[in-house]
């Protein structure tokens, strides 16, 4: 993958934006599990948890560490045979499959938010747009070609 197509760089940028947003949310929830600092203390009553610690931890792992790991994998293409065998989809490098996997996880997270607390905050719409962009860029033909085994 010496010459990376524009679509791959756009995918990497959107994954970086997702990681940036995930880290901001994780920091906000983990540093103040009451949600007061983020203006979400009143919303906590609608959730099946009694603090924002677990949502913050999920944001940290799924939408900060996850996208950063996928960026690393897409750029460096490490040879991890145990993942190559398990995550290969139609001859694609597993990093591409992982980038596609972020989409349903993020969509599920947003759907859960919509059901539990509504879909009223601009950050939710922005995150939904980032998710659409990740999926769009990952499915571009030039990206799929660049991520072949």
pLDDT at 92 (0 to 100): 79
Number of structural domains, the chain? 1
Question: Of 6-20, 70-84, 125-139, which gets the smallest average pLDDT?
Answer: 70-84
90-114: average pLDDT: 91
Would you say how long the chain is, in residues? 149
Residue 1 lies in a domain: no
12-38: average pLDDT: 97
State residue 110 phi and psi, 5-degree precision.
-65, -40
Structure token digits, residue 82: 């145990």
Residue 131 lies in a domain: yes
Residue 80 lies in a domain: yes
To which residue do tokens 């992982």 refer?
98
pLDDT category of residue 118 using cuts at 50, 70 and 90: very high
Residue 68 lies in a domain: yes
State whether the Cα torsion 32-113-46-123 is positive or negative: positive
Residue 89 lies in a domain: yes
- Look up the pTM and report it: 0.91
Residue 118 lies in a domain: yes
Residue 96 lies in a domain: yes
Whole-angstrom distance, CA of residue 148 vs CA of residue 138: 12
Reply yes or no on whether the pLDDT at 148 is more than 90: no
Reply yes or no on whether the pLDDT at 1 is more than 60: no
Range of the domain at 38: 6-146
pLDDT at 79 (0 to 100): 80
Structure token digits, residue 89: 């989809």
């Amino acid at each position: 993958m010496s010459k990376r197509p524009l679509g791959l760089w756009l995918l990497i940028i959107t994954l970086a934006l997702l990681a940036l947003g995930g880290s901001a949310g994780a920091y906000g929830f983990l540093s103040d599990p009451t949600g007061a600092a983020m203006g979400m203390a009143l919303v906590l009553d609608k959730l099946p948890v009694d603090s924002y610690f677990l949502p913050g931890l999920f944001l940290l792992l799924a939408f900060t560490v996850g996208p950063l790991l996928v960026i690393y994998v897409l750029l460096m293409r490490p040879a991890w045979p145990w993942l190559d065998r398990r995550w290969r989809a139609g001859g694609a490098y597993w990093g591409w499959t992982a980038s596609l996997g972020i989409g349903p996880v993020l969509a599920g997270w947003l759907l859960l938010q919509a059901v539990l607390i509504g879909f009223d905050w601009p950050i939710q719409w922005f995150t939904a747009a980032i998710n659409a962009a990740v999926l769009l860029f990952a499915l571009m033909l030039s990206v799929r070609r660049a991520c072949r085994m």
